[in-house]
Chains A and B, each alone.
Chain A
Amino acid sequence: MKNCIEVNNLSKSYGNRVVVNNLNLAVKKGEVFGLLGPNGAGKSTTIDCILGLKSFESGSVRVLGMDPTKERKQLFERVGVQLQSSSYQGNIRVGEVCEEIAALYRLPSDYRDLLSQFKLDQYLKQPVAKLSGGEKQKLSVLLALIPQPEVLFLDELTTGLDTEARREVWQVLSDLKEKGLTLFLTSHYMDEVEVLCDRVCIINRGHVLVTDTVPKLIQKSPYKRLEEAYLWVMKEEIAI
């Protein structure tokens, strides 16, 4: 199987502080990959480097075989991105932000269908600012799906969502996975990671601690659930 995302020896620092340290990862086509770690572990910086939003000192990044900085326009026709804590133009309406994003792509999906899938269709004419936190979060995931992406990046996809809304988002993503979507996500919710992810990579202070499938990771630990296994990995690292 072909690798959709390839990161080799990625290093990035802000001044003296090393944020990403010699990071390696590869995500296959159709795989759901979770990048996990505590706050400040370097997850968002890693995503920014992969997407070409931040420059880095050394290493290489390939997404769909392309260099994100050099082949930005071709690449982002095929890649959807939800950035952490997105916000929108003041007094823009839900339908308008969808229309605006859809206009940027050659073959966008019908945002009305997506709005009804996410149960946001009744808000079409409402100002985005009037939506609840959870609805805004759903909207940001929805916008990332507008390009009909082959690869989707979601940074903290369900932060602020209620249980029901989380299930809706999971359902939409699982359906897309069936159709072959490759998904790269970060999350602090291990139940979500257990449901969605095939493989995870746990990082702390820019270092990769472990990369494995979810069942194998649990198996290696003395526990039965990912949350405990995750905490165990973090603790082991501190002991080292």
Chain B
Amino acid sequence: MKKFFTLLKIEGKLSLRCVDSIFFGVCMPVGIMILIGLIAGQNPATSDGGYTLIQSSFGALVTVGICATAFMGIPLTIADYRDKKILKHFFVTPVSPTMLLWVHAVINMLLSVVSALLIYLVAKTFFGYEMIGSKLAFIGSYLLVMVSMYSLGLLIASLCRTVKTANVVCSIVYFPMLFLSGATIPFEIFPQPLQAVAGFLPLTQGIKLLKSSSLGLETSLLLPLFVLVGSLVIGISLSMRFFRWE
């Protein structure tokens, strides 16, 4: 365990030195929250009645941190460490390279949780946000979305042989997920055809789940749950099949 925490401390410091993960994972979603608060404040949400825009976007905004870590942080770090043979080097030590992967999973989880907590604190303190639904259900949904997205990030890392391809694939996945899933721009204001297409993104389903649980809606969550668990299973099993240490 001491090994794990020493690695966590050092690798964590390294992650904090990369400004981009902090910017995209923490500053950007908090900024968007402040922006929505200032623009819309207590205005009602566009489509569903009875909620403020902040209440309706909260579930979506907390996924921005997940998105940044799952589709940037995790795959790019793994591809970089593999390229630099850092993972390979762990094979000739008493510690398995898997430990290094876990260390990074924990760092990224911490980063997304910090991002989500900051969004919550900003929303609550400055814009009087209250969660309508059960907090426990929300936390459960949040964790499911997180592991499911991380498994897809791991899959990208497994399928991309070089840092260059990983970079390209990450951008191709990250930006549509960010803008089309409803994480940053409310899904409801999209035109119908775009909604239909965006519905295929796993994160869209994740946000549906988070939104329902934060608003305490009684809608059927079978599809989102199915998509998220499906992504998790597919992500993990394909990663295990295709993962290369070097």
Contacts and interface: CB of A to CB of B under 8 A. Distances in A.
Nearest to B246: A53
Contacts of B81: 89
A123 interface: no
B61 to A, nearest CB: 29
B89 A103 contact: no
Given A86-B85, A89-B14, A90-B80, A103 B94 contact: no
A104 B94 contact: yes
Interface stretch (A91-99, A221-229, A230-238): A91-99
Interface stretch (A7-15, A28-36, A69-77, A172-180): A69-77
Interface in B82-96: 84-86, 88-95
Contacts of A74: 94
Contacts of B2: 103
A222 to B, nearest CB: 40
Contact of A53 (B18, B84, B91): B91
B124 interface: no
A90 B94 CA distance: 23
Interface in B167-182: none
A89 B17 CA distance: 12
A105 interface: yes
Find the residue from B11, B80, B91, B95 having the highest chain A CB count within 10 A.
B91
A106 interface: yes
B92 A53 contact: yes
Interface residues of B, number: 23
Interface string B95-116: 1000000000000000000000
Contacts of A96: 10, 13-14
A144 to B, nearest CB: 9
Find the residue from A85, A90, A147 having the highest chain B CB count within 10 A.
A90
Interface in B69-85: 80-81, 84-85
A92 B10 contact: yes
Nearest to A105: B94
A187 B149 CA distance: 46
B198 to A, nearest CB: 34
A106 B6 contact: no
A52 B89 contact: no
B6 to A, nearest CB: 4
A64 interface: no
Given A91-B14, A103-B6, A83 B84 contact: no
A126 interface: no
Contacts of A90: 14, 18, 80
B88 A83 contact: yes
Given A96-B13, A104-B93, A87 B86 contact: yes
B158 to A, nearest CB: 19
Contacts of A92: 10, 14
Find the residue from B84, B90, B92 having the highest chain A CB count within 10 A.
B92
B7 interface: yes
Contacts of B18: 90-91
A101 B7 contact: no
Interface in B1-53: 2-3, 6-7, 10-11, 13-14, 17-18
A83 B13 contact: no
Given A86-B85, A89-B84, A90-B80, A99 B10 contact: yes
A91 B16 CA distance: 11
Contact of A83 (B80, B85, B95): B85
A88 B93 contact: no
Contacts of A53: 88, 91-92
Nearest to B99: A104
Interface in A90-120: 90-92, 96, 99-101, 103-106
B231 to A, nearest CB: 29
Interface of B: 2-3, 6-7, 10-11, 13-14, 17-18, 80-81, 84-86, 88-95
Smallest CB-CB A-B distances: 3 pairs: A103-B6, A81-B92, A87-B84
7 contacts: A76-B93, A79-B92, A90-B80, A103-B2, A104-B3, A106-B94, A153-B92
